[in-house]
Amino acid sequence: MAKILVADKIAQQGIDLLKREHEVEVRTGLKEDELVEAMKGVQALIVRSQTQVTRRVIEAGDVLEVIARAGVGVDNVDVPAATEQGVIVVNAPLANTLSTAEHAFGLLLATARNIPQGHQSLRNGAWDRAKYQGVELSGKTLGIVGLGRIGTEVARRARAFEMHVLAYDPFVSNERASSLGVEMRELDDLLAESDFVTLHTALYEGNRGMMNAERFAKMKKGARLINAARGALVDEQALFDAVESGHLGGAGIDVFSEEPAVGNILTTTDKIVVTPHLAASTNEAQDRAAIDVAEQVLEIFAGQAPRFPVNVPTVDAETMSVLGPFLEAARVAARVASQLASGSLQKVRIEYLGEIGTRDTTPMKAAVVIGMLDGVSTERVSAVNALAAAEAHGLRIEEDNLPAQEPYANLLVVRVTTDRGEERVAVTNTPQGPGIVAINDYPVEVGLGAGSPNLLAIENIDRPGQIGRVGTMLGEWRVNISSMSVSPSPSQSDRALMILGIGSPLTPEQMDAVAKFDGIFSVRQIRLR
Protein backbone atom coordinates (compact mmCIF):
# COMPACT_ATOMS: atom_id res chain seq x y z
CA MET A 1 0.00 0.00 0.00
CA ALA A 2 1.50 3.32 -1.12
CA LYS A 3 1.29 6.61 0.75
CA ILE A 4 -0.31 9.43 -1.28
CA LEU A 5 -0.34 13.08 -0.25
CA VAL A 6 -3.04 15.37 -1.70
CA ALA A 7 -1.78 18.91 -1.15
CA ASP A 8 -4.55 20.87 -2.91
CA LYS A 9 -8.30 20.47 -2.90
CA ILE A 10 -9.44 18.05 -5.61
CA ALA A 11 -12.81 16.41 -6.30
CA GLN A 12 -13.76 13.71 -3.82
CA GLN A 13 -14.22 11.15 -6.62
CA GLY A 14 -10.48 11.12 -7.22
CA ILE A 15 -9.69 10.72 -3.54
CA ASP A 16 -12.19 7.88 -3.17
CA LEU A 17 -10.64 6.11 -6.15
CA LEU A 18 -7.19 6.22 -4.56
CA LYS A 19 -8.42 5.19 -1.12
CA ARG A 20 -9.63 1.84 -2.46
CA GLU A 21 -6.05 0.65 -2.77
CA HIS A 22 -3.74 3.09 -0.97
CA GLU A 23 -3.26 5.31 2.05
CA VAL A 24 -4.36 8.88 1.25
CA GLU A 25 -3.58 11.94 3.35
CA VAL A 26 -5.20 15.27 2.47
CA ARG A 27 -3.27 18.30 3.76
CA THR A 28 -3.95 21.54 1.91
CA GLY A 29 -2.50 25.04 2.31
CA LEU A 30 0.99 23.82 3.29
CA LYS A 31 3.87 26.29 3.02
CA GLU A 32 7.08 25.06 1.40
CA ASP A 33 8.78 24.18 4.70
CA GLU A 34 5.70 22.27 5.85
CA LEU A 35 5.42 20.43 2.54
CA VAL A 36 9.10 19.47 2.63
CA GLU A 37 8.58 17.96 6.07
CA ALA A 38 5.43 16.16 4.92
CA MET A 39 7.14 14.51 1.93
CA LYS A 40 8.93 11.81 3.95
CA GLY A 41 7.56 8.40 2.96
CA VAL A 42 5.24 9.89 0.29
CA GLN A 43 5.20 7.94 -2.98
CA ALA A 44 2.69 10.11 -4.87
CA LEU A 45 2.02 13.85 -4.56
CA ILE A 46 -1.18 15.28 -6.04
CA VAL A 47 -1.65 19.02 -6.50
CA ARG A 48 -3.66 21.52 -8.50
CA SER A 49 -2.36 25.05 -9.14
CA GLN A 50 -1.86 26.49 -5.66
CA THR A 51 0.92 24.28 -4.31
CA GLN A 52 4.38 24.99 -5.74
CA VAL A 53 6.28 21.74 -6.21
CA THR A 54 9.82 23.06 -6.05
CA ARG A 55 13.14 21.26 -6.39
CA ARG A 56 13.43 21.33 -2.61
CA VAL A 57 10.06 19.63 -2.22
CA ILE A 58 10.92 16.99 -4.81
CA GLU A 59 14.30 16.22 -3.30
CA ALA A 60 12.64 15.83 0.10
CA GLY A 61 10.55 12.99 -1.31
CA ASP A 62 12.81 10.12 -0.35
CA VAL A 63 10.56 7.51 -2.00
CA LEU A 64 8.59 9.80 -4.32
CA GLU A 65 7.56 8.09 -7.59
CA VAL A 66 4.94 10.35 -9.16
CA ILE A 67 3.72 13.95 -9.10
CA ALA A 68 0.20 14.41 -10.47
CA ARG A 69 -1.18 17.82 -11.42
CA ALA A 70 -4.99 17.77 -11.49
CA GLY A 71 -5.23 20.22 -14.36
CA VAL A 72 -3.92 21.10 -17.80
CA GLY A 73 -0.50 22.64 -17.18
CA VAL A 74 2.46 21.84 -14.96
CA ASP A 75 3.69 25.40 -14.43
CA ASN A 76 3.80 24.92 -10.66
CA VAL A 77 5.93 21.76 -10.88
CA ASP A 78 9.72 21.79 -11.36
CA VAL A 79 9.65 19.17 -14.11
CA PRO A 80 13.44 19.17 -14.74
CA ALA A 81 14.05 18.54 -11.05
CA ALA A 82 11.50 15.72 -11.08
CA THR A 83 13.16 14.20 -14.14
CA GLU A 84 16.57 14.36 -12.48
CA GLN A 85 15.14 12.53 -9.48
CA GLY A 86 13.46 9.89 -11.64
CA VAL A 87 9.98 11.08 -10.64
CA ILE A 88 7.19 10.72 -13.19
CA VAL A 89 5.06 13.82 -13.75
CA VAL A 90 1.52 13.47 -15.13
CA ASN A 91 -1.35 15.89 -15.66
CA ALA A 92 -4.93 15.99 -16.96
CA PRO A 93 -4.78 17.88 -20.29
CA LEU A 94 -8.25 16.86 -21.47
CA ALA A 95 -10.16 17.62 -18.30
CA ASN A 96 -11.34 21.11 -19.21
CA THR A 97 -11.65 20.76 -23.00
CA LEU A 98 -15.44 20.59 -23.09
CA SER A 99 -15.90 23.14 -20.30
CA THR A 100 -13.73 25.70 -22.05
CA ALA A 101 -15.34 25.09 -25.44
CA GLU A 102 -18.81 25.46 -23.95
CA HIS A 103 -17.86 28.64 -22.11
CA ALA A 104 -16.39 30.18 -25.26
CA PHE A 105 -19.59 29.34 -27.11
CA GLY A 106 -21.61 30.76 -24.22
CA LEU A 107 -19.70 34.03 -24.56
CA LEU A 108 -20.38 33.95 -28.29
CA LEU A 109 -24.13 33.62 -27.70
CA ALA A 110 -24.07 36.24 -24.96
CA THR A 111 -22.36 38.80 -27.19
CA ALA A 112 -24.60 38.02 -30.16
CA ARG A 113 -27.83 38.46 -28.17
CA ASN A 114 -26.72 40.97 -25.47
CA ILE A 115 -27.90 38.57 -22.78
CA PRO A 116 -25.98 40.00 -19.77
CA GLN A 117 -26.86 43.59 -20.72
CA GLY A 118 -30.54 42.73 -21.08
CA HIS A 119 -30.49 40.88 -17.76
CA GLN A 120 -28.96 43.84 -15.92
CA SER A 121 -31.28 46.33 -17.64
CA LEU A 122 -34.38 44.42 -16.57
CA ARG A 123 -32.99 44.02 -13.05
CA ASN A 124 -32.67 47.82 -13.00
CA GLY A 125 -36.35 48.23 -13.90
CA ALA A 126 -36.06 49.00 -17.64
CA TRP A 127 -37.65 47.23 -20.62
CA ASP A 128 -35.12 48.05 -23.36
CA ARG A 129 -36.04 45.57 -26.09
CA ALA A 130 -34.93 47.79 -28.95
CA LYS A 131 -31.66 48.79 -27.32
CA TYR A 132 -30.46 45.20 -26.98
CA GLN A 133 -31.52 43.79 -30.33
CA GLY A 134 -28.99 41.14 -31.36
CA VAL A 135 -27.99 38.99 -34.30
CA GLU A 136 -28.52 35.32 -35.17
CA LEU A 137 -25.66 32.85 -35.39
CA SER A 138 -27.18 30.83 -38.21
CA GLY A 139 -25.57 31.78 -41.51
CA LYS A 140 -22.81 33.81 -39.86
CA THR A 141 -19.10 33.07 -40.22
CA LEU A 142 -17.05 32.03 -37.20
CA GLY A 143 -13.27 32.33 -37.39
CA ILE A 144 -11.36 30.05 -35.00
CA VAL A 145 -7.73 30.95 -34.27
CA GLY A 146 -6.18 27.67 -33.11
CA LEU A 147 -7.83 24.40 -34.15
CA GLY A 148 -6.56 22.19 -31.33
CA ARG A 149 -8.78 20.16 -29.01
CA ILE A 150 -10.76 23.13 -27.69
CA GLY A 151 -10.97 24.88 -31.04
CA THR A 152 -12.21 21.62 -32.57
CA GLU A 153 -15.02 21.34 -30.01
CA VAL A 154 -16.03 24.95 -30.67
CA ALA A 155 -16.11 24.19 -34.40
CA ARG A 156 -18.44 21.23 -33.82
CA ARG A 157 -20.85 23.40 -31.84
CA ALA A 158 -20.74 26.17 -34.41
CA ARG A 159 -21.62 23.71 -37.18
CA ALA A 160 -24.62 22.60 -35.11
CA PHE A 161 -25.75 26.25 -35.09
CA GLU A 162 -25.44 26.28 -38.92
CA MET A 163 -22.49 28.65 -38.89
CA HIS A 164 -19.86 28.76 -41.63
CA VAL A 165 -16.58 27.93 -39.87
CA LEU A 166 -13.09 29.14 -40.84
CA ALA A 167 -9.87 28.42 -38.96
CA TYR A 168 -6.29 29.61 -38.84
CA ASP A 169 -3.75 27.12 -37.56
CA PRO A 170 -0.46 26.60 -39.45
CA PHE A 171 -0.09 23.15 -37.90
CA VAL A 172 -3.41 21.65 -38.93
CA SER A 173 -3.74 20.01 -42.34
CA ASN A 174 -6.52 20.77 -44.80
CA GLU A 175 -7.62 17.14 -44.53
CA ARG A 176 -8.05 17.43 -40.77
CA ALA A 177 -9.99 20.69 -41.13
CA SER A 178 -12.17 19.30 -43.89
CA SER A 179 -13.16 16.35 -41.70
CA LEU A 180 -14.53 18.90 -39.21
CA GLY A 181 -16.40 20.90 -41.86
CA VAL A 182 -13.90 23.75 -41.47
CA GLU A 183 -12.11 25.80 -44.13
CA MET A 184 -8.53 26.92 -43.47
CA ARG A 185 -7.51 30.55 -43.99
CA GLU A 186 -4.51 32.79 -43.42
CA LEU A 187 -5.06 34.91 -40.30
CA ASP A 188 -5.72 38.23 -42.04
CA ASP A 189 -8.17 36.59 -44.45
CA LEU A 190 -9.98 34.93 -41.54
CA LEU A 191 -10.32 38.28 -39.76
CA ALA A 192 -11.69 39.97 -42.87
CA GLU A 193 -14.31 37.27 -43.51
CA SER A 194 -15.54 36.45 -39.99
CA ASP A 195 -18.55 37.82 -38.14
CA PHE A 196 -17.18 36.30 -34.91
CA VAL A 197 -13.56 35.47 -34.06
CA THR A 198 -12.67 33.17 -31.16
CA LEU A 199 -9.14 32.56 -29.86
CA HIS A 200 -7.95 29.09 -28.88
CA THR A 201 -4.19 29.23 -29.32
CA ALA A 202 -1.33 28.88 -26.89
CA LEU A 203 0.55 31.98 -25.76
CA TYR A 204 4.15 32.35 -26.86
CA GLU A 205 6.41 35.31 -27.45
CA GLY A 206 5.60 35.48 -31.15
CA ASN A 207 1.84 35.96 -30.66
CA ARG A 208 1.73 38.08 -27.52
CA GLY A 209 -0.64 40.97 -28.28
CA MET A 210 -1.46 39.43 -31.68
CA MET A 211 -4.95 40.95 -31.58
CA ASN A 212 -3.93 44.59 -31.73
CA ALA A 213 -5.25 47.80 -33.30
CA GLU A 214 -3.97 46.81 -36.75
CA ARG A 215 -5.68 43.42 -36.61
CA PHE A 216 -8.92 44.86 -35.23
CA ALA A 217 -8.98 47.28 -38.17
CA LYS A 218 -8.88 44.27 -40.52
CA MET A 219 -11.97 42.72 -38.92
CA LYS A 220 -15.45 43.25 -40.34
CA LYS A 221 -17.33 46.26 -39.02
CA GLY A 222 -19.63 44.93 -36.32
CA ALA A 223 -17.68 41.71 -35.80
CA ARG A 224 -17.23 40.33 -32.29
CA LEU A 225 -14.16 38.86 -30.54
CA ILE A 226 -14.23 35.97 -28.04
CA ASN A 227 -11.23 35.12 -25.85
CA ALA A 228 -11.27 32.20 -23.41
CA ALA A 229 -7.63 31.23 -24.12
CA ARG A 230 -4.92 33.59 -22.83
CA GLY A 231 -5.39 37.22 -21.84
CA ALA A 232 -2.04 38.36 -23.23
CA LEU A 233 -3.10 37.43 -26.77
CA VAL A 234 -5.13 40.65 -26.85
CA ASP A 235 -4.07 44.29 -26.65
CA GLU A 236 -6.79 45.26 -24.18
CA GLN A 237 -6.68 49.00 -24.79
CA ALA A 238 -6.92 48.45 -28.54
CA LEU A 239 -9.91 46.13 -28.06
CA PHE A 240 -11.63 48.66 -25.82
CA ASP A 241 -11.08 51.40 -28.41
CA ALA A 242 -12.34 49.21 -31.28
CA VAL A 243 -15.54 48.39 -29.40
CA GLU A 244 -16.16 51.89 -28.13
CA SER A 245 -15.65 53.37 -31.61
CA GLY A 246 -18.30 51.00 -32.98
CA HIS A 247 -15.95 49.25 -35.38
CA LEU A 248 -16.41 46.03 -33.42
CA GLY A 249 -19.89 45.04 -32.31
CA GLY A 250 -18.71 43.71 -28.98
CA ALA A 251 -16.54 41.13 -27.27
CA GLY A 252 -16.72 38.26 -24.81
CA ILE A 253 -13.68 37.98 -22.56
CA ASP A 254 -12.88 35.37 -19.88
CA VAL A 255 -9.11 35.88 -19.54
CA PHE A 256 -7.04 38.98 -18.93
CA SER A 257 -3.47 40.19 -19.11
CA GLU A 258 -3.35 40.40 -15.31
CA GLU A 259 -5.65 38.57 -12.92
CA PRO A 260 -7.61 39.21 -10.78
CA ALA A 261 -8.83 41.72 -13.38
CA VAL A 262 -10.89 43.93 -11.09
CA GLY A 263 -10.76 47.43 -12.60
CA ASN A 264 -9.44 46.21 -15.95
CA ILE A 265 -10.46 48.57 -18.76
CA LEU A 266 -12.46 45.81 -20.46
CA THR A 267 -14.74 45.63 -17.42
CA THR A 268 -15.72 49.30 -17.70
CA THR A 269 -18.08 49.09 -20.69
CA ASP A 270 -21.34 47.18 -21.10
CA LYS A 271 -20.42 46.52 -24.75
CA ILE A 272 -18.02 43.79 -23.59
CA VAL A 273 -19.22 40.66 -21.77
CA VAL A 274 -16.69 39.68 -19.10
CA THR A 275 -16.37 36.66 -16.81
CA PRO A 276 -13.72 36.01 -14.12
CA HIS A 277 -11.75 33.19 -15.82
CA LEU A 278 -14.59 30.69 -15.52
CA ALA A 279 -13.97 28.58 -18.64
CA ALA A 280 -12.62 25.55 -16.74
CA SER A 281 -14.75 26.10 -13.64
CA THR A 282 -17.36 23.38 -13.91
CA ASN A 283 -18.11 20.50 -11.60
CA GLU A 284 -17.53 18.08 -14.45
CA ALA A 285 -14.11 19.51 -15.36
CA GLN A 286 -12.92 19.35 -11.77
CA ASP A 287 -14.26 15.81 -11.41
CA ARG A 288 -12.52 14.73 -14.63
CA ALA A 289 -9.21 16.28 -13.56
CA ALA A 290 -9.27 14.46 -10.22
CA ILE A 291 -10.29 11.14 -11.74
CA ASP A 292 -7.76 11.40 -14.60
CA VAL A 293 -4.80 11.91 -12.28
CA ALA A 294 -6.02 9.36 -9.73
CA GLU A 295 -6.29 6.71 -12.44
CA GLN A 296 -2.80 7.54 -13.70
CA VAL A 297 -1.32 7.24 -10.22
CA LEU A 298 -2.93 3.81 -9.95
CA GLU A 299 -1.60 2.86 -13.40
CA ILE A 300 1.95 3.81 -12.42
CA PHE A 301 1.79 1.87 -9.15
CA ALA A 302 0.54 -1.12 -11.17
CA GLY A 303 3.56 -0.90 -13.45
CA GLN A 304 1.63 0.46 -16.43
CA ALA A 305 2.32 3.49 -18.62
CA PRO A 306 0.25 6.56 -17.69
CA ARG A 307 -1.98 8.15 -20.32
CA PHE A 308 -0.71 11.72 -20.01
CA PRO A 309 2.96 11.60 -18.97
CA VAL A 310 5.03 14.77 -19.09
CA ASN A 311 8.56 13.43 -18.68
CA VAL A 312 8.66 9.64 -19.03
CA PRO A 313 11.67 8.28 -21.00
CA THR A 314 10.68 6.21 -24.02
CA VAL A 315 13.70 4.07 -24.98
CA ASP A 316 16.61 2.22 -23.38
CA ALA A 317 19.84 3.88 -22.30
CA GLU A 318 21.95 2.33 -25.09
CA THR A 319 19.68 3.71 -27.79
CA MET A 320 19.66 7.12 -26.15
CA SER A 321 23.46 7.14 -26.06
CA VAL A 322 23.41 6.97 -29.88
CA LEU A 323 20.43 9.23 -30.52
CA GLY A 324 20.86 11.71 -27.67
CA PRO A 325 23.36 14.00 -29.46
CA PHE A 326 20.95 14.31 -32.42
CA LEU A 327 17.75 15.18 -30.55
CA GLU A 328 18.47 18.91 -30.36
CA ALA A 329 19.47 18.88 -34.04
CA ALA A 330 16.20 17.17 -34.94
CA ARG A 331 14.17 19.72 -32.99
CA VAL A 332 15.98 22.62 -34.63
CA ALA A 333 15.65 21.12 -38.12
CA ALA A 334 11.88 20.91 -37.70
CA ARG A 335 11.66 24.38 -36.20
CA VAL A 336 13.67 25.88 -39.07
CA ALA A 337 11.79 23.98 -41.79
CA SER A 338 8.40 24.94 -40.34
CA GLN A 339 9.36 28.62 -40.27
CA LEU A 340 10.69 28.55 -43.81
CA ALA A 341 7.48 26.91 -45.05
CA SER A 342 4.39 28.89 -46.00
CA GLY A 343 0.91 27.75 -46.84
CA SER A 344 -1.21 24.92 -45.50
CA LEU A 345 0.78 22.05 -44.00
CA GLN A 346 0.32 18.71 -45.76
CA LYS A 347 2.97 16.42 -44.32
CA VAL A 348 6.35 16.14 -42.61
CA ARG A 349 8.91 13.62 -43.81
CA ILE A 350 11.87 12.57 -41.65
CA GLU A 351 14.87 10.82 -43.25
CA TYR A 352 17.49 9.10 -41.09
CA LEU A 353 20.78 8.52 -42.90
CA GLY A 354 23.37 6.30 -41.19
CA GLU A 355 23.40 4.46 -37.87
CA ILE A 356 20.68 6.61 -36.32
CA GLY A 357 18.20 4.98 -38.71
CA THR A 358 18.99 1.50 -37.36
CA ARG A 359 17.77 2.38 -33.87
CA ASP A 360 14.32 2.99 -32.41
CA THR A 361 13.70 6.42 -33.90
CA THR A 362 10.76 7.27 -31.65
CA PRO A 363 12.75 9.91 -29.70
CA MET A 364 13.90 11.52 -32.97
CA LYS A 365 10.36 11.63 -34.28
CA ALA A 366 9.20 13.14 -31.00
CA ALA A 367 11.95 15.78 -31.21
CA VAL A 368 10.80 16.73 -34.71
CA VAL A 369 7.21 17.06 -33.49
CA ILE A 370 8.39 19.23 -30.58
CA GLY A 371 10.21 21.47 -33.06
CA MET A 372 7.08 21.77 -35.15
CA LEU A 373 4.59 22.36 -32.33
CA ASP A 374 6.56 23.88 -29.45
CA GLY A 375 5.11 27.31 -28.70
CA VAL A 376 2.11 26.95 -30.98
CA SER A 377 0.28 24.08 -29.32
CA THR A 378 -2.14 24.85 -26.52
CA GLU A 379 -0.48 22.06 -24.54
CA ARG A 380 3.09 21.65 -23.39
CA VAL A 381 4.69 19.34 -25.97
CA SER A 382 7.34 17.03 -24.52
CA ALA A 383 9.14 13.86 -25.58
CA VAL A 384 6.45 11.70 -24.05
CA ASN A 385 3.34 13.42 -25.39
CA ALA A 386 4.71 14.63 -28.73
CA LEU A 387 3.23 11.85 -30.84
CA ALA A 388 -0.19 12.26 -29.23
CA ALA A 389 0.05 16.01 -29.86
CA ALA A 390 0.91 15.35 -33.51
CA GLU A 391 -2.14 13.14 -33.84
CA ALA A 392 -4.36 15.73 -32.16
CA HIS A 393 -3.17 18.34 -34.69
CA GLY A 394 -3.66 16.00 -37.62
CA LEU A 395 0.08 16.23 -38.33
CA ARG A 396 0.98 13.63 -40.96
CA ILE A 397 4.50 12.29 -40.41
CA GLU A 398 6.42 9.92 -42.69
CA GLU A 399 9.79 8.31 -41.88
CA ASP A 400 12.46 6.63 -43.97
CA ASN A 401 15.80 4.99 -43.14
CA LEU A 402 18.54 5.52 -45.74
CA PRO A 403 22.26 4.68 -46.09
CA ALA A 404 24.84 7.13 -44.79
CA GLN A 405 25.73 9.99 -47.13
CA GLU A 406 29.32 11.16 -47.42
CA PRO A 407 30.90 12.97 -45.73
CA TYR A 408 28.48 12.40 -42.80
CA ALA A 409 28.32 9.26 -40.69
CA ASN A 410 24.81 10.33 -39.62
CA LEU A 411 22.46 12.85 -41.15
CA LEU A 412 18.88 13.78 -40.34
CA VAL A 413 16.69 15.47 -42.96
CA VAL A 414 13.31 17.10 -42.26
CA ARG A 415 11.08 17.87 -45.24
CA VAL A 416 8.00 20.02 -44.65
CA THR A 417 5.48 19.94 -47.48
CA THR A 418 2.69 22.51 -47.85
CA ASP A 419 0.33 23.37 -50.68
CA ARG A 420 2.99 25.86 -51.81
CA GLY A 421 5.94 23.49 -52.02
CA GLU A 422 8.58 21.80 -49.88
CA GLU A 423 11.30 23.04 -47.52
CA ARG A 424 14.22 20.74 -46.69
CA VAL A 425 16.60 21.12 -43.75
CA ALA A 426 19.48 18.70 -43.07
CA VAL A 427 21.31 18.55 -39.74
CA THR A 428 24.04 16.50 -38.14
CA ASN A 429 26.08 16.40 -34.96
CA THR A 430 29.71 17.47 -34.90
CA PRO A 431 32.37 17.65 -32.15
CA GLN A 432 31.29 21.28 -31.77
CA GLY A 433 27.63 20.32 -31.38
CA PRO A 434 24.58 20.13 -33.66
CA GLY A 435 24.54 22.10 -36.88
CA ILE A 436 22.55 22.74 -40.05
CA VAL A 437 24.42 21.48 -43.12
CA ALA A 438 21.83 22.06 -45.87
CA ILE A 439 18.75 24.16 -46.55
CA ASN A 440 16.94 22.93 -49.64
CA ASP A 441 19.71 22.39 -52.22
CA TYR A 442 22.12 24.89 -50.62
CA PRO A 443 24.97 23.41 -48.53
CA VAL A 444 25.43 25.62 -45.45
CA GLU A 445 27.36 25.62 -42.18
CA VAL A 446 25.27 26.91 -39.30
CA GLY A 447 26.38 25.87 -35.82
CA LEU A 448 23.70 25.79 -33.14
CA GLY A 449 25.87 25.84 -30.05
CA ALA A 450 26.53 29.26 -28.58
CA GLY A 451 25.35 31.16 -31.67
CA SER A 452 22.55 33.66 -32.06
CA PRO A 453 18.97 32.45 -31.55
CA ASN A 454 17.93 34.45 -34.64
CA LEU A 455 18.81 33.73 -38.26
CA LEU A 456 18.17 35.56 -41.52
CA ALA A 457 17.91 33.36 -44.62
CA ILE A 458 18.39 35.57 -47.69
CA GLU A 459 18.24 34.12 -51.21
CA ASN A 460 19.90 36.55 -53.60
CA ILE A 461 21.50 36.89 -56.99
CA ASP A 462 25.05 35.53 -56.91
CA ARG A 463 27.15 38.63 -57.55
CA PRO A 464 29.61 40.79 -55.57
CA GLY A 465 28.28 43.38 -53.15
CA GLN A 466 25.14 41.66 -51.94
CA ILE A 467 26.56 40.70 -48.55
CA GLY A 468 28.05 44.16 -48.03
CA ARG A 469 24.78 45.96 -48.69
CA VAL A 470 22.86 43.81 -46.24
CA GLY A 471 25.62 44.09 -43.63
CA THR A 472 25.71 47.88 -43.96
CA MET A 473 21.97 48.15 -43.44
CA LEU A 474 22.05 45.86 -40.38
CA GLY A 475 24.88 47.98 -38.99
CA GLU A 476 22.79 51.12 -39.39
CA TRP A 477 20.06 49.40 -37.39
CA ARG A 478 22.62 48.38 -34.74
CA VAL A 479 21.89 44.69 -35.37
CA ASN A 480 24.98 42.59 -34.68
CA ILE A 481 25.97 39.77 -37.05
CA SER A 482 27.34 36.85 -35.05
CA SER A 483 27.82 34.33 -37.87
CA MET A 484 27.59 33.99 -41.63
CA SER A 485 27.31 31.16 -44.12
CA VAL A 486 27.17 31.84 -47.87
CA SER A 487 26.49 29.14 -50.45
CA PRO A 488 25.96 29.28 -54.23
CA SER A 489 23.17 27.13 -55.59
CA PRO A 490 24.34 23.85 -57.14
CA SER A 491 21.38 23.90 -59.54
CA GLN A 492 20.89 27.60 -60.36
CA SER A 493 24.13 29.37 -61.33
CA ASP A 494 22.84 32.87 -60.67
CA ARG A 495 21.57 32.29 -57.10
CA ALA A 496 23.12 32.08 -53.65
CA LEU A 497 21.90 31.75 -50.07
CA MET A 498 23.33 33.70 -47.16
CA ILE A 499 22.50 32.69 -43.60
CA LEU A 500 23.22 35.40 -41.03
CA GLY A 501 23.14 34.91 -37.28
CA ILE A 502 21.82 38.17 -35.83
CA GLY A 503 21.76 39.45 -32.29
CA SER A 504 18.13 40.63 -32.33
CA PRO A 505 15.16 39.91 -34.60
CA LEU A 506 14.26 42.36 -37.34
CA THR A 507 10.95 44.20 -37.34
CA PRO A 508 8.50 43.64 -40.23
CA GLU A 509 9.49 47.06 -41.59
CA GLN A 510 13.17 46.13 -41.53
CA MET A 511 12.42 42.83 -43.25
CA ASP A 512 10.57 44.71 -45.98
CA ALA A 513 13.51 47.08 -46.40
CA VAL A 514 15.94 44.19 -46.95
CA ALA A 515 13.55 42.47 -49.33
CA LYS A 516 13.39 45.57 -51.53
CA PHE A 517 17.09 45.39 -52.39
CA ASP A 518 17.69 44.74 -56.07
CA GLY A 519 18.78 41.14 -56.60
CA ILE A 520 17.17 39.68 -53.47
CA PHE A 521 14.59 37.00 -54.13
CA SER A 522 13.44 36.24 -50.59
CA VAL A 523 14.14 37.17 -46.97
CA ARG A 524 12.99 34.89 -44.17
CA GLN A 525 13.60 35.18 -40.44
CA ILE A 526 14.09 32.14 -38.20
CA ARG A 527 13.98 31.82 -34.43
CA LEU A 528 16.02 28.84 -33.30
CA ARG A 529 14.73 28.95 -29.72
Q: Which residues are catalytic?
A: 230, 259, 277
The phi and psi torsions of 252 (rounded to 5 degrees) equal -125, 115
Smallest CA-to-CA distance from 184 within 443, 502, 452, 419 is with 419
Question: What number of other Cβ atoms are within 10 A of residue 179's Cβ?
Answer: 11
Query: Residue 370 and residue 375: Cα distance in Å, rounded?
Result: 9
Residue 408 is classified by DSSP as B
Q: Return all residues near 170 (Cβ < 8 A) that are at least 6 apart.
A: 338, 345, 376
Query: Residue 404 and residue 135: Cα distance in Å, rounded?
Result: 63
Smallest CA-to-CA distance from 227 within 275, 176, 161, 295 is with 275
End-to-end CA distance of the chain: 44
Query: Residue 363 and residue 344: Cα distance in Å, rounded?
Result: 26
Q: How far is CA 281 from CA 28, 41, 50, 254, 434, in A?
A: 19, 33, 15, 11, 45
Rg (CA), the chain: 26
- SS3 for 185? coil
User: Pseudo-torsion of CA 170, 171, 176, 177, nearest 10°?
Assistant: -30
Query: Residue 364 and residue 370: Cα distance in Å, rounded?
Result: 10
Smallest CA-to-CA distance from 492 within 517, 466, 516, 462 is with 462
Q: Is the dihedral of CA 415, 418, 419, 423 positive or negative?
A: negative
- Are 7 and 31 in contact by the 8 Å Cβ rule? The answer is no
Three-state secondary structure of 10-41: CCHHHHHHHHCCCEEEECCCCCHHHHHHHCCC
Query: Residue 281 and residue 290: Cα distance in Å, rounded?
Result: 13
